[in-house]
Structure 1
Amino acid sequence: MERYIYLILLPLGGAFIIAALNAAVKSRDTRNITADILANLITLATAGIALTSFGINGSYSVGGWPVPLGIN
């Protein structure tokens, strides 16, 4: 079940980036575009790490490569 968290997080991250770009375009303030995008990416990364940092064996393999995120 935890493997499907990425199916939720990736579109959510895309929505954050699109919302930041839309807000910046509407306000015509180019100074805040980078700050908004970076803040949203940091939030997404933090949420992703928090949601995937639980598990029993502490590793998950994708195509033979281990991904140490604690996903079972």
Structure 2
Amino acid sequence: MAAVGAVEITVDRLDVARACGREWPVPEGLAAELLPVAECVVFAGAHLGADAWPVEWADPDRVRQ
């Protein structure tokens, strides 16, 4: 679980750097450790920008009952 968290933090760091107009290459050693973990947890159909499963929103009127 900690390794998956490390992947998430690393990807978030990349996102923040890019949003700020900066590049932050993942250090080679860190990349070597995290790549096998990422390959295990990212599903085959994933693509850039899809970091969550589709969500079906509940009908608000039914939720309040």
The TM-score normalised by the length of structure 1 is: 0.35
Larger helix proportion of the pair: 1
Look at both structures and tell me which one has the larger radius of gyration over its CA atoms.
2
